[in-house]
Structure formats: structure tokens, C-alpha cells
Amino acid sequence: MLGRFLFILGVFWPLLVSAQALQVNPDSIPGEVTVAPITVIGQADGLFGNTPGSAQQINRATLHSIAPISGNEVFRTIPGFHVVDEEGAGLRMNLGVRGLDPDRSRNVLVLEDGIPVALGPYSEPELYYTPSIERMSGVEVLKGSGQVLYGPQTIGGVINYQSMDPPALGSRGDIRLRIGENGLFHTQLNYGAAQKETSYLLHVMRKQADRLGYAGYRINDLTGKFNMTLHAHSRLSLKLSVYDEWSDATYIGLTQSMYDRGDQDFVAMAPDDQLQIRRYAGSLHHTWQLHEKAYLKTTLFGYTTTRNWQRQDFSSNPNAANSTGVVWGDPSIPQGSVTMLEGTGHRNRQFEVAGLESRYHVDHQLFGIEQELDAGARILHEQAFEQRVNGTRKDAESGALIQDEVRTGLAGSVFAQNRWIVHPSLSLTTGLRGEFYSYEREILRNVFAGEVRDTHILGENHITEFIPGLGLNYAIAPDWTLFAGIHRGFAPPRIKDAITSTGQALTLDAETSWNTELGIRHKATSWWAAEATLFYMDFANQIIPVSESSGGTGTGLVNGGSTIHYGVELGSTIQLNDHLAAGHQLQLQASATILKATFDADRYIQEGSDVINIRGNETPYTPSLAGTGSVRYGWRGQLGVQWTSRYTGSQFTDELNTVIPSANGRVGQMDAFWVHDLSAWWLIPGTRLEVGATLKNLTDERYIVSRRPQGIRVGLPRYLSGSLHYRF
């Protein structure tokens, strides 16, 4: 493994340092040098005129008007995105794109300031840690062929959280406080200053709640950014962050009889379950202006995440041995109850990730055609340490070591995307990404045929994949742009998969697909913007999770075979400010997704004594229709009110498309639901103090958001919170 690391470093390092710097005016350095944003041409209105594929941007004003408790509320406004709540507080995002399974956001590449945030970007892309939306100045989203510049996930989409930057001049700061029902208390402090060649920003946040939905939590989040201009053509930025979370999160949900009773929606069935996450992250960014039309951005980054989860054992057998005497649900119904047991399972995991990436941009000419080239390379090393410890009491904090393994991966990437400006109204974008991934899995202890046994099983695999992309933008009329694109979707197989009873480590194929888009954008100068996109995704092999988080047995994943996803995404924004009396602002926004996602190949599942072919069935957790709409009114920047409504269509929750709910609550069709939110804010005249209030789920709609991981989860009921925001 070390030899391969040195080989890749030797191949890629010359690309990182081969350019020679020239003395230029520092004003020509790109303004956002502290991060490597997904797109440097994104506009505040959320439309990207030259992006090869569908793209959206959520800016600071939109974040402010939504007043989100979690990022889930923000991503629901984006066409093609389906977010499934887990605990109500949005601590762990489950996001699916265009019919992909939302479990743990495995099929979405999530970045913060251009850097991956998943536990292991290649080996375990689960989002147990989700960046706090309160720290962000905006969010960027790509779903088209422009994804080839980012990896390793290029199937569902790319999300880039944009954290707040230090001020360019002077100093600024703000204090925010939010309080709400059930002990909600969120507070944060931002302060930044700039002087001569240096600037910095410090962010401190504390979030807690006694019981928000299914979880109480305590979170501390600290981030610091430091910028320095080294000389006329060189800038340096350092970012450090610490995240610490405790929550009483659990996998256990309601049985069907408990849900039907209607008075136990958020009962603490396993009060001793607790999840602890601690994350340390650091990155160093260097921007080097080579000449007036070219620059090089190099980023060194690393982070470590510890995720320890203590969960009480339980059984669907009301007469199970070792019971604590606590039984939920209806024991008279087979599989209709949950019996709590005297025992715990500790899923203790630690992940270490380090990488070096360089991106080169140049405006150039070839064959007399104006062009823009973005190219680069990255090396990334990741390692995971996982243990399963079983305790003998319901609240045991330790116990016997049952499973122990180490997983190591080394990846190299090279990528290039060239935009050919064939005509002022026509551009063609070609891209290619190469992914080279080697991993090892070392199993030191596991359960084989019911027996815990020390062992030494070493498995390894090597993967090479080339991911092409092609995009087109054509200005068919003033303010109207037609775009089209196709790219290869790729997601590497997880190192952690399945183990047979004989101790053989199985391997999974990579996920691959062909993703096609055709769309049109409209941008009027002042009042109207819209985008409509037709999409078609053809999977050669979609990995189907059977993990506990997806409601499965927890033994890993399986090769699910071919699936087809197609549909249309619609989004529009209307600004009526110019048509109203002075001082009044009115904005209307709407988005919708209509899709069909089905299994496209023969695949047989044993159901009792029957064998069922699920070809043609819909993929789980794929609403065929979803949409959001909002109306925002403002007056002279001092007063604002926003109404937001979202609709989510009915969904199947298993591959068999079962309609009738199961007694344990884990299977059955979920009905459609509407949710309405209302938020308002007022900047007190003559002060810098803003007061606000937010009412979530205004009509107190009761609805099922998920039957995962192990039972029914109910959506957050009507919820009121208030806020104070002071700027200085």
C-alpha cells in the first residue's frame, strides 16, 4: 500500500508544482481564494449560464428567509432532491437524487468548501456527520455533466456547502440566538476582521434540545478561517474546525399498532441509546496566479471522525429471553411488538482521511477557438477502524469485543474539463475523470457460524474507472439558454460488504450509470428566472443497501442490477419588486419533480413460499411527485414574511412495492403529505437587532416520513421557535 502511495505521488506531484509564477496585479486573483467552489460562474439568483447541466445555488438571503432548523428544509426546495427525516433535528441527512436511495446520502458527493465530508469518501460515503447549515453563506448543487470535476461520487449529484468567509475590509460580527419548544437552544457567535495582508473569521456555535422529534442532542461546533496574502500573486488560507455531538439517537421506530394509536409518536423506546460523534478537520489552501488568465489552487486537507453508537438490544418476540420487562406495541399481533432486552451493541468506528489536490484554470485558444480549461489531480488516503462490542445490560457502556477490523484505501484522481466557446451563443464542454482506487480489508475478529473467533482475513481489490462527460450550452434567444449533457456515473464499491459463514470476504462491483440531461434556462434581467430539465439515468448496477440504517439485516450491500430513472425537474423565481410601490418586495418561488424510477432487469426475491420477479417495480423511497412553493414579502429590508409549502407524493418502502403495512411498521406504502411553514423577521428601527419567529408544520399535519431504520418515523408536529440576531 505504501509503495502504491509513493508511486501515485510521484506521478501526480509534478502536475501540482510544474507551473512558473509571474508577477501580476493582485486584483486579478480570483476573489474567493479561501475555497475551491464548484462553480465560479454561479450568480446570486441561482442560475448558472454556462454550466454543462442543471445547477442551483441557495444564497444567504434564501437561507435567512427559510430560517431552517436543519439543512433538510433547504434541500427540499431543490428540484430532484428527496430528503427523508430520521430523528427530526436533521442531524443526519438522508438525501436521494432523482430516485436514488436516500439512505445516509450514499449516492451524493457532499463537500464543504470543496472538501469531502463523508466518513470515507471512497469506502464509506455515509453522512453520519452533516455540516451545520447555520455556518453557511450558501449552498451549490450540480447534477449534470459538470460533476466529472468532482469525485469519487458522480452519480446523483454534488453538494458544496459554502462556509462564511472573513471580511475583505474592517471587522464585522454577529450573535444569533434561537429558542424553541422542548428545550431548543441554538446560539452562535461570528467575528472576523481584516488588516493589510491578513484576515480571519471565528465561528462558535452551541446547539441543544431536550427532545426535538426523536432525539435530544448537545452539539458544539467551532471553526476558524485565516487568510494571508503572501505577495502579489500568491495567497494562503487555513481552516480549522472541531465538531462534537452527543445525541440519544436510536434506530427503533414505532410498530403499526403504536402509530395507529396516535399517542406515542415520539416516545423514547430505548432511552439508553446514545450516539457520540467527534470530528477534527483542517485544510490549507494556496492560490497561485500564474499569469493574467491562469491560476493554480492547491489544497492539503485532513480530518478524523469518531462515531460511537450505543444501542440497546431488542426483539420482536414478546417472550424473548433476557427481557427487561418493557414491551412496546401489541404482543398479541405477530411481529407487532418490540421487547427491550438486557444487552447493548456498541458500533464503534473511527475514520481518518487525508488528501492533496490541485486545480488549474486557464483561458486559452486552440484552433482559433476561445477556450477555458479546468484540470487537476488528487491523491487521497483513508483508513477505518471498526469494532463491535456487546454489553450485558441495557445501559452497559462496555462489554465483549465481537468484531474487529481495519480497512485502508488509497485513491488517485486526474480530471480535466475544457469549454470550447465555438460562438458567442454556443459552447461545448468536454470532460474526463480518471479514478484509481486500491483498498485492503483486514478482519481480525468476527462471528463465524455463531462463534466469535480471532482470525486474520485479508482481502484487497484494485479499481480503475474513466468517467467521460459532454455538455452543450446554446443561447437560442436573449435570456434563453438550451443545455444538454451526458456523463458516466460512477461510485466505488464499499470496502465493508458481506462475509460468509466460512470467513470469505465478498466484493461488490462499482456502481455505474449513464446520466443524460436536456434542459432550458431563462433569465430575465430583473424579474423572472426559470429552469426545466429532462433527465434519464440508466444504471448498469445499482447497489441495494441491506444495512441496518436502510431497514435491512446489517450484513452489507448487494448488487441490485439495472435500474432506470427518468423524469422532469422544474424551478422558477419571480421578482415583482419593480411592479410594486417603493420599498415593497415580493418574490414567488416554485419547484417540482416528476419522476419514475424502476428496476429494469429480472431480479427474484423470495417472499414466503413465492418467488417474485421485481422487474418493473419502483425503487424504494421514490415519490413520483414532489414540489415546493414559497411567497416572500419584504418592506425596505426591515420587515419580512415568508410562507413555504411542500408536497411529497406517496412512496413504496420496499422492493416488492408492498401496499399493506406490516405489523412491525417497516414495510408498507407511505401516503402523500403537505407541510406548510411560516417565518417572519423584523429589524428594529435604529438598531442592529433583528427579531424573528418561525412556525413549522403550521397545520400540524401528522404523517409518516420513513419506515426506516427499524419502524415508523413520524414527521415533526407543529413547532414554534423564536430568534434574535444582533450584528456589530
DSSP letters, 656-706, are: T---SPPTTSSSSPBPPEEEEEEEEEEE-TTSSEEEEEEEESTT----EEE
Contact 694, 716 (CB under 8 A): no
Is the pLDDT reported for residue 47 higher than 50?
no
Residues with Cβ within 8 Å of 312's Cβ and at least 6 positions away in sequence, in order, are 250, 270, 272, 273, 340, 341, 343, 344, 394, 395
Residue at 267: amino acid letter: V
- The rounded percent of the chain whose pLDDT value lies above 70 is 88
Distance CA 639, CA 637 (A): 6
| DSSP structure class, residue 494 | P
* CATH code (residue 238): 2.40.170.20
φ and ψ at residue 515, rounded to 5 degrees: -115, 125
Distance CA 602, CA 120 (A): 32
Write down the residue that cell numbers 456487546 correspond to.
390
Q: In the chain, what is the greatest distance between 2 CA atoms, to the nearest angstrom?
A: 81
Its domain, for residue 234, covers 2-727
pLDDT of residue 555: 42
Distance CA 252, CA 246 (A): 18
Cell of 124: 464509506
Could you tell me the CA-to-CA distances from 221 to 129, 359, 388, 421 in Å, in that order? 12, 29, 28, 44
DSSP letters, 606-656, are: EETTEEEE-TTPBPSS--SEEEEEEEEEEETTTEEEEEEEEEE--B--STT
Which contiguous run of DSSP H or E holds residue 259? Answer: helix 256-261
pLDDT of residue 389: 97
SS3 101: coil
> Lowest mean pLDDT: which of 28-37, 268-277, 463-472, 690-699?
28-37
- Local confidence band at 256 (pLDDT 50, 70, 90 cut-offs): very high
pLDDT of residue 560: 56
pLDDT single digits (tens) 610-658: 889 999 999 999 999 999 999 999 999 899 999 999 999 999 999 899 9
User: CA angle, corner 420, sides to 419 and 422, nearest 5?
Assistant: 145
Write down the residue that cell numbers 427481557 correspond to.
323
CA 512 to chain centroid: 20
Report the DSSP pairing between strands 157-163 and 108-112: parallel
> Lowest mean pLDDT: which of 4-8, 56-60, 343-347, 570-574?
4-8
Report the DSSP pairing between strands 136-142 and 184-195: unpaired
Strand ranges inside 367-425, DSSP E: 369-391, 400-423
CB atoms within 10 A of CB 474: 16
Report the DSSP pairing between strands 625-635 and 639-648: antiparallel
φ and ψ at residue 603, rounded to 5 degrees: -150, 125
- Local confidence band at 561 (pLDDT 50, 70, 90 cut-offs): low
Distance CA 56, CA 141 (A): 5
* Total domains in the fold of the chain: 1
- Gyration radius (Cα) of the chain, Å: 26
Contact 308, 339 (CB under 8 A): no
Is the pLDDT reported for residue 553 higher than 80?
no
Distance CA 559, CA 442 (A): 22
Of 66, 69, 179, 184, residue with least CA distance to 715: 69
CB atoms within 10 A of CB 173: 15
